[in-house]
Amino acid sequence: MEHINSFYLLSSLFLLSHIATSSMEQRGAYIIHMDKSVIPAPFPTPHHWYTSTLSSLTSKDGIAPIHLYTYKHVMDGFSAVLSKSQLNQLEKMPGHVVTYDEQLGQAHTTHTPKFLGLKKRAGLWPAGSFGDDMIVGILDTGIYPESESFSDHGMPSVPQRWRGGCESGTEFNSSNCNHKLIGARSFSKALKQLNLTISGPDDYDSPRDFFGHGTHTSSTAVGSKVTDVDYFGYAKGTAIGIAPLARLAMYKVLFYNDTLVSAASDTLAGIDQAIEDGVDLMSLSLGFPETTFDGNPIAVGSFAAMEKGIFVSCSAGNSGPHAYTMFNGAPWITTVGAGTIDREFLAYVTLGDGVATIKGKSIYPMDLSISHVSLYYGQDTNKQNCEDFSLDSIEVLGKIVFCAFNNRTRVRAQMKEVARAGAKGALLATNLTKSTSFFAFNFPFVAISPIEGELIKDYLQKTSEATVDIKFIITELGTKPAPQVANFSSRGPNQRAPWVLKPDILAPGVEVLAAWPLDKAITPIGEDDSLNTDYALLSGTSMSSPHVVGIATLLKSAHRDWSSAAIRSAMMTTADVIDNQNEQILDISTGTAGTPLDFGAGHVNPNKAVDPGLVYDIEVEDYINFLCALNYTSQQIKVITRRSNYACDQANLDLNYPSFAVVLSNNTNTTTYSFKRVLTNVANSDSVYRAVIWAPSGMEVVVEPSTLTFGSKYTKAEFTMKVVVDVAGHSTQSGYIGKHGYLIWYEIKGKHVVRSPIVLAFAP
């Protein structure tokens, strides 16, 4: 006995010191793909096989593997935390296919939410009674169930086919779900392994939304109609999602840790569960690094969703405005860029002489009455430019500081300096007034143009007692031009597959108003006040994806038999390529006309998408043949499609896509590119269409035949299109990338117009 005890004591001491010293093995989380077809007979399910395999792995430090998730739909396999030696053992076992390292993704929103809560109309489109009976899964930061936008007033009971659930966790339980919010789950196992403190104070270990992002995206897509809402007494209005009668299921995969992060294995688990639960559509406003599609959890997960007829929309990313900055470029995903809307938030500035009233840009949320307040302009250049630590708190106390524009103005630094010095407010002359990067709602900032800055300088010269009046909280609707491509919106070409144009489409993503957790102060105002709001303005492609999933929900509801590719085609071929001034849609980053590499097929137009006339449809096999043509190995194809030894005898880069990317190689003078596409009639009657080409010089396009005749609904017709590009004298991309034309099918004696961009791209 004694002996055993002392031995036990010794060995446990030994074990302790063993752990405390360097011999404890490094561990990591891995996503492990398995070949389900070689499952040994005794195991009733793959899950039993995987967990048994895991428990058979040994390690020197005696720490057992931790199983995270077994995947059912998105892939064959599981995720687990393992040491390197355990991974080595696992990789030698029969049935192991390939292992991917855990990786982190990010939300595609700006990290600082932009203020506000002017209760104006939300959603650009009048709400129909569509969306009924559709279930939309949103993978995001969770949900604030108390928001009026998720009220189920008047909604019928939960559809019978729904298999989802409402998980309990920190400050969340099943009573938070209702007939609107019909499911809510949280996936944090992998992030917890990375030691993220999810259980507060920074987030909730439950479907409850801490950050607000998921509440915002969800209400944009499917928020219930909320009438007569107001914010601190400001303009009353109606808040409404794009598909207000659709049901919502939240899958929380993004957690707050300075920024919003997501682990690949958690995201895969969220998509897997959404498929299992029975969602009809999904939206993901996050992205992982653009690797080949097999290494990207959203590409892998959404392939399985697409196969089951689930529409998947994703944000294109906020890494613009340069080329090749796209995320979520897999062709079975609908990839959405961000555009501005025709609404601006302003402040009116009137100078003391009453001569000029300037419309500045401001999103300051409080109606400060600034009337005849002293306007401060420093005596020397540093003070005039509001350079770091140039302002004297006593000098600027109670005054509005004017910060001049010059060729080294850094507006953010100016804002910081004015706030540091504690002035009453500031007028900032900047050429970035159109840029959405101008945001600060926590201080009375007004951005004005350099020209208006000169006006103010003139006024300052004329008087020694300059004063100013400022009226905040002016919302102007119908501003022009709109939409424009947001500076931050990620641009094509598609990094991993330039043969498919990405982004697909543009949707509102700048200063979008949607629901927000009321318990979360959106911004500190002044020293000790903070504003809580139930509606907030955010910008990012994160905000545009839910618009598109909402529109897709309406389309799917109206056309139950359309595939996800048909829904996307309907949106793309009817998208707007001109703005509200009848000009080509501008790219804010250049101030000149954008190209399809910026806006895809154009800005989504929901009312037209309902009735596109024709669609370019795509079958599952077509996507696999596309992967074959990308020269993916049979292992990569298995990882994405769960098909073993796919034949790849029909490899084809020419997907039946509603847009055309002509991929050039350097150092060729003339390139001839051929496409073969099939159109399907989705109108209720026979029709004849004629092709019209719009092409820039240097691009010659021939369509054969140029007239297509369709019989009854769902009949098909095929055409070929040859594009000859003359790049003589140019050996590089400059001047060619983004050059574009359009192929437009006009219905003869009918109203349908089916437009596709033809754009020149280069492989990255």
Ligand X SMILES: *[C@@H]1O[C@H](CO)[C@@H](O)[C@H](O)[C@H]1NC(C)=O
Binding part of the chain for ligand X, among 123-131, 414-422, 427-435, 522-530 by CB under 6 A, reads 427-435
Of the candidate residues 22, 160, 195, 379, the single one contacting ligand X (CB under 6 A): 195
Query: Which range touches ligand X (CB under 6 A), out of 202-210, 428-436, 538-546, 566-574?
Result: 428-436
Examine residue 589 and tell whether it contacts ligand X (CB under 6 A): yes
Per CB under 6 A, 52 contacts ligand X: no
- The span from the CA of 280 to the CA of 267, in Å, is 18
Selected catalytic residue, list 302, 542, 563, 569 = 542
- Considering the complex, state which of residue 736 and residue 746 has its C-beta at the smaller distance from ligand X: 736
C-beta closer to ligand X: residue 265 or 589:
589
- The footprint of ligand X on residues 285-304 (CB under 6 A) is none
CB of residue 360 to ligand X, shortest distance in Å: 17
Which of 140, 294, 579, 587 is the catalytic position? 140
Tell me if 54 sits within 8 A of 67, measured CB to CB. yes
Interaction of residue 728 with ligand X, rule CB under 6 A: yes
In the chain, the amino acid numbered 91 is E
Q: For residue 562, what are its two tokens?
A: 């359309």
Stretch that binds ligand X, among 11-19, 287-295, 539-547, 726-734 (CB under 6 A): 726-734
Residue 151 binding ligand X, by CB under 6 A: no
Least spacing, CB of residue 191 vs ligand X, in Å: 6
Alpha-carbon span 748 to 688, nearest angstrom? 6
Residues 480-509 as x/- pattern, contact with ligand X by CB under 6 A: -------x----------------------
392 is annotated as an active-site residue: no
Q: Which of 35, 366, 733, 746 binds ligand X (CB under 6 A)?
A: 733
Question: CA-to-CA distance for 180 and 166, rounded, in angstroms?
Answer: 12
State how far the Cα of 333 lies from the Cα of 317, in Å rounded to an integer.
Answer: 13
If DSSP codes are grouped into helix, strand and coil, which group holds residue 59? coil
Other CB atoms within 10 A of residue 310 CB: 22
Cross-strand partners of 135: 247
Active site residue 213: yes
Task: CB nearer to ligand X: give 408 or 749.
Answer: 408
Neighbouring residues of 407: CB distance < 8 A, sequence distance ≥ 6? none
| Binding-site member from 22, 631, 645, 697 for ligand X (CB under 6 A) | 631
Contact pattern from residue 645 through residue 684 relative to ligand X, giving x for each residue in contact according to CB under 6 A and a dash for the rest: ---------------------x--x---------------
Point out which span in 6-14, 189-197, 421-429, 700-708 binds ligand X (CB under 6 A): 189-197
Interaction with ligand X in 216-275: which residues (CB under 6 A)?
Answer: 257-258, 261
Long-range (24+ apart) CB contacts under 8 A made by 532-536 are 533/115, 533/116, 533/117, 533/231, 533/365, 534/117, 534/147, 534/148, 534/229, 534/231, 535/116, 535/117, 535/119, 535/122, 535/229, 535/231, 535/239, 536/113, 536/114, 536/115, 536/116, 536/117, 536/212, 536/216
Decide if residue 22 touches ligand X (CB under 6 A). no
User: Please, what sign has the CA dihedral across residues 283, 287, 290, 292?
Assistant: negative
Give the interface segment with ligand X, choosing from 89-97, 193-201, 299-307, 603-611 (CB under 6 A).
Answer: 193-201
Q: Which of 63, 155, 366, 432 binds ligand X (CB under 6 A)?
A: 432
Q: Nearest approach, Cβ of 205 to ligand X (angstroms)? A: 15
- Contact 253/139 with Cβ under 8 angstroms? yes
Residue with tokens 């996503």: 31
**Residue 435 touching ligand X (CB under 6 A):** yes
CB of 437 to ligand X, least distance (A): 5
Q: Which of 514, 489, 487, 492 is nearest to 503 (CA)?
A: 492
Residue 3 exposed, middle or buried by CB count within 10 Å (0-12, 13-18, 19+): exposed
| Alpha carbons 560 and 360: distance in angstroms, whole number | 47
Is 464 annotated in the active site?
no
Print the binding letters for residues 306-345 with ligand X: x by CB under 6 A, - otherwise: ---------------x------------------------
Contact 596, 740 (CB under 8 A): yes
Q: Does 437 bind ligand X (CB under 6 A)?
A: yes
Q: How many residues bind ligand X (CB under 6 A)?
A: 27
- Which tokens belong to 80? 């687990």
User: Which listed residue (97, 196, 298, 429) binds ligand X by CB under 6 A?
Assistant: 196
The residue annotated as part of the active site, out of 108, 213, 740, 752, is 213
**Nearest 5°: CA angle at 63, between 58 and 65?**
70
Q: At closest approach, how far in Å is the CB of 173 from ligand X? A: 4
Cα(196)–Cα(638) distance, rounded to whole angstroms?
Answer: 32
CB 640 within 8 A of CB 620: no
| Pairing mode, strands 505-508 and 334-339 | parallel
Options 99, 199, 431, 584; binder of ligand X; rule CB under 6 A: 431
Catalytic residues: 140, 213, 542
Judged by the rule CB under 6 A, the positions of this chain that interact with ligand X are 104, 173, 175, 194-196, 257-258, 261, 321, 406-407, 431-432, 435, 437, 487, 588-589, 630-631, 666, 669, 728-729, 732-733
